Amino acid sequence: MFGIYWSINIIITIINLIILIIISNLYMKSHRALRSKISASLLLFAILLLIQSFLTTLTYIRFSSYYGPEIAIPLIPINILGLLAMSILLWLSKQ
């Protein structure tokens, strides 16, 4: 079972995944309407971040079996900053 600190990190990365799925959908709709290089680039960017976030989640699940809070605790503020950045990107993409 996951410790509390690993659980917090995993929850944050899952929220990031959800946000990136929404952003990818927004960029896909934009690309279908515009067919421009910038919209294709934004879609690719979002998909790559989605893959990275998915792999991060899997890595945290794996690490939670081997490493304790000394690794998980410093990751929390880093993941919160990433979540903040994704939230801002979602907010800007919806405008």
The one-letter code for the residue type at 70 is E
Q: What secondary structure, in 3-state letters, does 25-81 show?
A: HHHHHHHHHHCCHHHHHHHHHHHHHHHHHHHHHHHHHHHCCCCCHHHHHHHHHHHHH
pLDDT per position as a tens digit, 48-78: 999 999 999 999 999 999 999 999 999 999 9
Residue-level pLDDT at 2 = 79
User: What does DSSP assign to residue 93?
Assistant: H
Q: What's the rounded mean pLDDT across residues 34-58?
A: 95
Taking the CA atoms of residue 38, residue 40, residue 42 and residue 43 in that order, the dihedral angle to the nearest 10 degrees is: 170
Q: Is the pLDDT of residue 18 over 80?
A: yes
Q: What's the rounded mean pLDDT across residues 67-95?
A: 96
Q: Is the pLDDT of residue 1 over 90?
A: no
